[in-house]
């Protein structure tokens, strides 16, 4: 009888200890589902040691001057407090993370933002970054290394690498892309339309490359 009492006492203790662990784990499913929804909050230690972002490709401030977007190897992140804390932005229900190469806010439409990805082309948001749609019709390949918007007329230039390697232009906000030029050779990190007149009726495109900064009238 005494041995049975100690047996059940032991079992109760085991249950209690395991129960505590389950209670401790109850937070985990919440964190996992939050991350799956793209609401993963980067804490300061993640940012401090850089472990959360892996590798950063792009930084942009929305046209309203409020939200900051960070394009990284592990996705798009957004900060609404000047870069102190970051939340991961969900781009697609199909895939949780993209390698974001460029972030390009429309200077005239504060809620319109374009991003370029390494594996899935261009995405567009028209609600300030809440929802995104792929915007790739006519684009030669999925690996977009630069995305520039003309501040005067909203014309877009996308630089595609590997498959379909070239510069593509869209004059309808990313609805349709047309190949225009080979573009600068070698590795390209950033592509920007700069409102400096060429003297020939257009403005300049600047490209940050492995060989330095290059510029050409409107297109390369």
Partner 1 sequence: MGGLPTNRTVNGFAVDSTNPKTMYVAMRDGLFKSTDAGNSWKNVGNDLKNLAAVAVNSKNSSEVYVVTADGKIFTSADGGVKWKSQR
CB of 40 to partner 1, least distance (A): 14
Q: How many CB atoms lie within 10 A of CB 192?
A: 18
DSSP state of 95: -
In the complex with partner 1, the residue whose CB is nearer, 9 or 211, is: 211
**Dihedral (C-alpha) 203, 208, 214, 219: value to the nearest 10 degrees?**
-40
Q: 197-219 burial by CB neighbour count: b if 16+ within 10 A, else e?
A: eeeeeebbbbbbbeeeebeeebe
In the complex with partner 1, the residue whose CB is nearer, 31 or 196, is: 196
CB of 76 to partner 1, least distance (A): 13
Is residue 59 close enough to count as binding partner 1 by CB under 8 A? yes
In the complex with partner 1, the residue whose CB is nearer, 71 or 142, is: 71
**Dihedral (C-alpha) 160, 165, 167, 169: value to the nearest 10 degrees?**
-70
Is residue 198 close enough to count as binding partner 1 by CB under 8 A? no
Write out the H or E segment, with its range, that includes residue 42.
strand 41-42
Look up residue 168 and give its two tokens.
């593509």
CB of 46 to partner 1, least distance (A): 8
* Neighbouring-strand partners of residue 202: none
- Binding range to partner 1, per CB under 8 A, among 24-32, 129-137, 158-166, 211-219: 211-219
Q: x/- contact string, 109-148, with partner 1 (CB under 8 A)?
A: ----------------------------------------
In the complex with partner 1, the residue whose CB is nearer, 67 or 139, is: 67
Q: x/- contact string, 149-188, with partner 1 (CB under 8 A)?
A: --x-----------------------------------x-
- The residue with tokens 């390949």 is 141
Q: x/- contact string, 69-108, with partner 1 (CB under 8 A)?
A: -xxx---------xxx----------------------x-
Helix (H, G, I), strand (E, B) or coil at 75: strand
- 8 A C-beta contact, residue 188 and residue 144: no
DSSP state of 213: E
Which positions lie near partner 1, rule CB under 8 A? 44, 47-50, 52-61, 63-65, 68, 70-72, 82-84, 107, 151, 187, 189-190, 192, 194-196, 204, 206, 208-213, 215
């Amino acid at each position: 009888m005494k041995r049975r009492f100690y047996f059940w006492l032991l079992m109760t203790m085991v249950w209690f200890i395991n129960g505590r662990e389950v209670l401790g784990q109850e937070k985990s499913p919440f964190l996992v589902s939050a991350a799956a929804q793209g609401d993963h909050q980067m804490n300061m230690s993640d940012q401090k040691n850089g472990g959360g972002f892996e590798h950063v490709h792009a930084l942009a401030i929305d046209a309203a001057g409020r939200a900051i977007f960070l394009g990284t190897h592990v996705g798009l992140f957004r900060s609404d407090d000047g870069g102190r804390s970051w939340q991961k932005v969900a781009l697609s229900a199909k895939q949780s993370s993209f390698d974001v190469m460029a972030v390009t806010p429309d200077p005239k439409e504060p809620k319109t933002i374009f991003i370029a990805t390494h594996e899935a082309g261009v995405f567009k948001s028209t609600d300030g970054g809440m929802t995104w749609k792929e915007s790739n019709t006519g684009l030669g390949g999925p690996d977009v290394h630069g995305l520039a918007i003309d501040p005067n007329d909203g014309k877009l230039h996308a630089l595609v690498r590997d498959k379909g390697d070239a510069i593509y232009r869209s004059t309808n906000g990313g609805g349709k892309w047309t190949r225009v030029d080979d573009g600068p050779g070698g590795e390209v990190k950033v592509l920007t339309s700069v409102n400096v007149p060429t003297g020939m009726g257009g403005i300049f495109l600047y490209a940050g490359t492995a060989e330095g900064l290059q510029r050409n009238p409107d297109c390369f």
